[in-house]
Structure 1
Amino acid sequence: MKKNILRAALTTTMLLSMVSGQNVITNAAAVTPVTASTPSATAKPAATPAPIMRDNLSKYGLKKDLELPVTVTAGGLSYTLEKIMIYDFKSKDAQNLVKQFKYDSFGGMVSNPKHFIWTKITIKNNSNKIVKRSLNDQKEKWSLTLSSSGGRIDAIWPKANVGKLNNKDAFYYYSLKPGEQLTTYQAFLYDQNFKYLVIRLFHEGGFDEKFVVNSQE
């Protein structure tokens, strides 16, 4: 009889364990899982990235026909105008850049500048020869034109980077092997009114031009 009582006790214990386990499973299944589609109470909406400011041409009455960046290609070289910012020469922004890179306050063609023009550019060598600007080869390959009366604006060079090759902050000299490219900054001086903006590229007998802003006259 004692054996029968012991067996009954063991059976009751096993049944209670099974029932208890089923309750755990049932309760777990009743919990709604949080999926990727279920919004969290603490979730914040994704921030919208701020638009990249590529120019301030409208400040000077220029209405763009092409949005930057704009690329011209000639003779195996491509030039892309990524950004262009026009500052009054005596402004804080212009003078900070002049001091930072030790630019002259005059150029070969502009002795009394009204404006300081700061550009971000990418140049790429698509040819099978080295393309460079060096002490012995300073021929300008591209130009920006803003007015028919003033001709090309005057490129100036950062004395802070003399001797540095392919500088990405403000280039002085560069040398690009076939397939190589450089994204950097270039400064200009200007003393005329603004009528349009034309990018022109001359290289190895090739020529290309694009009107970012057509004539406002």
Structure 2
Amino acid sequence: MKKMMLKASAAVLLLTQVVAGGIPAAAAEQPAPKVAAAAATAAPVMTDNLAKYGLKKDVELPVTVTAGGLSYTLEKIMIYETKSATAQALIKKYGYTGTEGQKYFIWTKITIKNSSNAKVQFSSKDLSDKWRFNFGEEAFTSMPRKFAEKVNNTEVLWTWELAPGKKLTSYQAYTYNDKLERFYITVDNKGQKNVVDVVKK
């Protein structure tokens, strides 16, 4: 009996507070509104550092160049002084060769796709470069000695082969030892060649 009286008293007290303005009626009738979390502003993805070296892009990345059914997409390019900590860490991790005495070590993220009707490859069966970089002079691909024999390595690329309809995303390094004056990509496959200027002279 005492418990029932206590509950009734509590209910009367609550009702009195609502009517008297102690608790807003709307708040008493409705659940507390959810606090909307502020949308986190995503930091822009850095796809290149060309401006650091005075190279102003005429086209934004990613850039795709296609020739003879092979498409090459440059998704990211970072230029480092070869002696820098970042470059040296990559060189040691993958065993890159030919970096000694070179001023720049260039790190790229790429996607290649074979839309032709025949296999396309870079291997002992076909050593011709299918794409090239030029910054005023040609840059040269650097071989990751520790992974040179691994075909279609998605971590770092050297030997690769693509059957018709296949594509591959990986990372590739270059060395360069001249002035950075411009930047264009050449794709050369099956007797066809295409060039795209990323930074015009």
> In 1, Cα distance between the equivalents of 2:173 and 2:90?
9
Contact 1:54 1:68 in 2 (8 A): yes
**Corresponding position of 1:183:** 169
> In 1, Cα distance between the equivalents of 2:170 and 2:64?
15
Q: Which amino acid aligns with 1:157?
A: M
Is 1:209 aligned to 2:195, yes or no?
yes
Q: Shift in Å at residue 209 of structure 1?
A: 1.0
> In 2, Cα distance between the equivalents of 1:83 and 1:139?
23
Is 1:49 aligned to 2:38, yes or no?
no
Q: Which amino acid aligns with 2:159?
A: Y
**Corresponding position of 1:144:** 133
**Corresponding position of 2:124:** 135
Alignment size in residue pairs: 178
> In 1, Cα distance between the equivalents of 2:113 and 2:86?
29
> In 2, Cα distance between the equivalents of 1:156 and 1:184?
14
Q: Shift in Å at residue 39 of structure 1?
A: 4.9
Contact 1:98 1:105 in 2 (8 A): no
Return the index of the structure with the highest Cα Rg.
Answer: 1
Q: Which secondary structure does the structure 2 equivalent of 1:52 belong to? A: coil
Matches within 5 A, 1:1-217: 31-33=29-31, 39-40=34-35, 43-106=36-99, 112-147=101-136, 150=137, 152-215=138-201
Q: Shift in Å at residue 208 of structure 1?
A: 1.1
The answer for unaligned runs of 5 or more in structure 2 is 1-24
The answer for unaligned runs of 5 or more in structure 1 is 1-26
> In 1, Cα distance between the equivalents of 2:117 and 2:125?
20
> In 2, Cα distance between the equivalents of 1:162 and 1:189?
17
> In 2, Cα distance between the equivalents of 1:104 and 1:204?
28
Q: Which secondary structure does the structure 1 equivalent of 2:135 belong to? A: strand
> In 2, Cα distance between the equivalents of 1:133 and 1:113?
24
Q: Which amino acid aligns with 2:29?
A: V
Contact 1:200 1:208 in 2 (8 A): yes
Could you list the structure 1 runs, at least 4 aligned residues long, displaced by more than 3 angstroms after superposition: none
> In 1, Cα distance between the equivalents of 2:133 and 2:162?
22
Q: Shift in Å at residue 32 of structure 1?
A: 2.4
Normalised TM-score (structure 2): 0.83
Q: Which amino acid aligns with 1:66?
A: V
Q: Which secondary structure does the structure 2 equivalent of 1:45 belong to? A: coil
